[in-house]
Amino acid sequence: MQRRDFLKLSALALSVTSGMPGFLARAATVAGGDKILVVIQLTGGNDGLNTLVPFSNSAYYAARPTIAIPKKDVLNLTADLGMHPALRPLSKLWDDGELAWIESVGYPNPNRSHFASMAIWHTADPTQAQREGWIGRIAEKIGDPFCASNLDRQPVKALRTDTMILPTIDDLDTFALTLPKGVEDAYAALLNIKRDGEVAFVEKAVRQMAQNTAKVQANIKKYKAGVTYPQGRFPEQLKDIARLIASGTGQRVLYTSLGGFDTHAGQRAEQDELLTVLANSLVAFRADLEAQGLADKVVVMAFSEFGRRVAENDSAGTDHGQGGVMFTLGKAVKGGVHGESPDLENLADGDVRYKQDFRGVYAEALDKWLGLSSADILGGKFGGPAWIAG
Amino acid sequence: MTLSPYRPRTFSLEDAAHLLRRAAFGATAALTREFAALGPQKAVERLLNFDTTELPDNPFDPAEGVNGGAAVRLAQMRWLHELMYSPHPLREKLALTWSNHFVIGVDKVRQAGMLKGYMRVLREHGLSKFERLTLEVSKTPAMLLYLDNNQNKKGKPNENFSRELLELFTTGIGHYTEEDVKEGARAFTGWAFRGLLGLNNPAQTAVPEFVFQSNQHDRGRKTYLGQSGNLTGEDVIRIATHHPATADFVGRKLWRAFVSDTPSDAGVRELVQLWNDTDGDLRAILTALLTSETFYAPENRHAIIKSPVEYVVGTVRALGQPKLKDEKRYTQVVQQMAKMGQALLGPPTVEGWKGGRDWISDTALLTRMQTAASFALGSTLSKDVKAADLPLALLGRERAPFEAALRGLGVPQQAYLTLISPEYALA
């Protein structure tokens, strides 16, 4: 972008923010902190048992004659547990003590609906009474809609709030407001009429977008690629996250998703492919952060809405289940396996019983990493493993 | 009475524009004037009176795709063409609405014949009885494949379709048990299709057909939503579509698609009553909705955030249906809609698009601006478009609320700024 054009855009951003509520004005000053949490959503219900494999458990092999990961292929982590072979790229992080697995994670009265379950993880509210997402509530707490962004096409409920519109960024390169010559003043005037109701919501979103894009474009050139990422949408999203972090745009939470985990049929081929993409992308992201000198500032936390049924179905796939595994990685992470392994002899309706409330895992990220009160954001105290080191 | 018929002294231009924006994606000022002369009942009759033939000059045929990916792109372009130019916009709006209810996705369904068959059912049965629509969609190879019902065999159940039938297509969550899901899956055993060849096979154009494999069907006794017997898939669909919760759940979706994003409980109660009286007759239900007092109530006008497809198709229709330059431009428009969050035939998940405020994000707003520029400022804009007609055609108002800001600008600039105004984001 030409400097002259950028000045125009900044001017537009300023002119359209004149009517902004006070919280935006004070946002930059209170955002604070330089630790960043990257949240990765594995959409569709990732099969935890074939991700962190209980390879010493004969019940696992009995339940999955076709799709179990053969013992010889498992990447052993402990005497009983090992990773899916597609996760081999993560082995070094494990060896360095920077990869943590958290077992049997779920919530009370589990729900096998993708959507209801995802909404529970997004709102951190199993009763689903909350309209706002848990990351949206972080933004409310900090008072800055730019403190969290979603790198994807569509907004996710985790970043929803009643009063702010948090950025959803599909592609940083095109994340720029450009108006054709000669209409800037007219557009600013058009935005400045009085509006009520839903149209006022859209107007506010436009003003926020103008601010967000101006901020990103002002900073984004500071990033120099540190590594080559694999081809594909998910690695691109992670790369954009690295670019935002390296540019110092100031987000505290960055969110992205990898979809396709709803493996009802032919699970091995589908999940193997997805875990390969996941592992290769994460390793590239990590190496990029290293190259930028930012690896100690970032922690990754990955979740899925539920695990899958223990027994395979007859389509060489698995149906919707309950408890699943989460993982976190980063220099600040206390590596290892946390929590209690699923008891495959004592299932809930054929599913892994949850033993760790997911909000306890969130709480550790909030209290120990982001330095925010988890009790405020989650609406109560939740216990969980100490997966942040120190 | 919320669904009592709308009987204004005069059916104004803005009334007609409101109907056309909701039921026909939008229209030129000239067509709006024609509709205003008809009055509310006849205007709706005219919209509902459609056949299911696609345009003879539609240049795209998924069957010409050399592989699955090409078939998908051609299916999307073919649909875009109908959305923009079909003389039956309500048929297409209904197909779009039902494609967001009975969801399939081209991430998995990548075969020309399956996509054609699915679209045909949406067009043919969009105004049938709800049970019939559900049954017909459920038997499309597209749905059988998408939700793995073709893998559902006697003694080897696959619950995917059975679960979504209840959760997403009929009763909604909270009205069934896990046992109902399992029993439903047993009833659907044996449903399959034949005629699918390899996705890269040149003969992939064959339209696969539903087939009932009786040797794979579980004939045993089942209990489903409180009813027992040797239930078949058809029985299960009849029971699920007639469950009392279904009228409420599906009625709310229709309300959200056509009336407002926040259905009133009183309105939905009346809709449920009508649903029960007509055995879920979608034509009767839609007629009632579109001719009701509630539909025209001031609080329900300019109240629904347009989906990307509504945004793009509405722009083309309101600007007098200019022809897109070439095939590349179609591809571009399909991609722009995807970037705004709505890939035709490719909802993010089986739940479909949630709509409403979820359509608004920074990326979506930026893409809307680029799309607006390509239609208003490029060579697409017809010389016949007059500045004086823009507010009615684009905003459904006789005067733009930001009229003063546009003073002195040329027609393309006025069209562009109107298209990127917050007002234009709402139908």
Whether B350 and B103 have beta carbons less than 8 Å apart is answered as yes
CB atoms within 10 A of CB A6: 14
Model pLDDT for residues A224-277, shown as the tens digit of each residue: 988 999 999 999 999 999 999 999 889 999 999 999 999 999 999 999 999 999
A119, A306 contact by CB (below 8 A): no
* Angstrom distance (rounded) from CA B272 to CA B255: 11
Per-residue pLDDT of chain B (427 residues), as tens digits, is: 689 999 999 999 999 999 999 999 999 999 999 999 999 999 999 999 999 999 999 999 999 988 889 999 999 999 999 999 999 999 999 999 999 999 999 988 999 999 999 999 999 999 999 999 999 999 999 999 999 999 899 998 899 999 999 999 999 999 999 999 999 999 999 999 987 655 445 455 567 899 999 999 999 999 999 999 999 999 999 999 999 999 999 999 999 999 999 999 999 999 999 999 999 999 999 999 999 999 999 999 999 999 999 999 999 999 999 999 999 999 999 999 999 999 999 998 889 998 999 899 999 999 999 999 999 998 878 889 999 999 999 999 999 999 999 999 999 999 999 999 999 999 9
H helical segments located in A27-113: 27-30, 58-63, 91-95
pLDDT of residue A32: 54
pLDDT band at A86 (very low <50, low <70, confident <90, very high): very high
Q: Is the dihedral of CA B79, B80, B85, B89 positive or negative?
A: positive
Domain assignment present for A309: yes
Rounded CA separation A380/B407 (Å) = 55
Read off the pLDDT of each residue in A173-183 and give the average, rounded to a whole number: 91
Chain pair A-B, CB pairs under 8 angstroms? 146
| Two structure tokens written together for A292 | 């930028």
Of the partner residues A183, A202, A317, the one whose CB lies closest to the CB of residue B425: A202
CB-nearest to A190 from B365, B402, B425 is B402
- Go through chain A and tell me how many residues it has: 390
Chain B nearest-CA residue for A270: B108
- Taking the C-alpha atoms of residue A115 and residue A293, their distance in angstroms, rounded to an integer, is 38
> E-assigned strands of B144-255?
191-194, 209-212, 222-224, 227-229
Chain B nearest C-alpha distance from A358 (Å): 22
Long-range contacts of A234-239 (CB under 8 A, 24+ apart): A234/A258, A234/A277, A234/A278, A234/A281, A235/A277, A235/A280, A235/A281, A235/A284, A235/A285, A236/A171, A237/A151, A237/A152, A238/A151, A238/A281, A238/A282, A238/A284, A238/A285, A239/A284, A239/A285, A239/A288
Whole-angstrom Cα distance, residue A139 to residue A162?
11
Flag whether A108 is in a domain.
yes
Q: Is residue A384 part of a domain?
A: no
In angstroms, the CA A127 to CA B281 distance is 35
Measured distance CA(A357)–CA(B162) in Å, rounded: 29
- Binary contact (A313, B338; C-beta < 8 A): no
B 285-304 residues inside an 8 A Cβ radius of A: 302-303
Residue A130 is predicted with a pLDDT of 84
Q: What is the DSSP string of A342-381?
A: --TTS-BTTBPPP-EEHHHHHHHIIIIII---HHHHHTS-
Contact call for A168 and B338, based on CB within 8 A:
no
Residue A386 lies in a domain: no
CA–CA distance, A20 with B38 (Å, rounded to integer): 45
CB B129 within 8 A of CB B155: no
SS3 B274: helix
**How many folded domains does chain A comprise?**
1
State pLDDT tens for residues A8-23: 444 455 444 433 344 4
To which H or E segment does residue B269 belong?
helix B265-277
For B42, the token pair is 């006849």
Are A314 and B157 within 8 A, CB to CB? yes
A6 pLDDT higher than 50: no
- Assess contact for B90 and B50: CB atoms under 8 A: yes
* Tokens 């300023």 -> residue: A14
- Whether A108 and A356 have beta carbons less than 8 Å apart is answered as no
Q: A142, A376 in Cβ contact below 8 A?
A: no
Measured distance CA(B55)–CA(B57) in Å, rounded: 5
- The beta-carbon neighbor of B360 closest among A150, A202, A264 is A202
Q: Dump strand ranges (E) for chain A.
A: 36-43, 52-54, 75-76, 81-83, 99-106, 148-150, 253-259, 298-304, 324-329, 336-338, 356-357
Residue A135 domain boundaries: 3-22+39-378
The 10s digit of each residue's pLDDT in A55-70 is 999 999 999 999 999 9
Q: How far is CA A184 from the centre of its chain?
A: 36
CA B79 to chain CA centroid, Å, is: 11
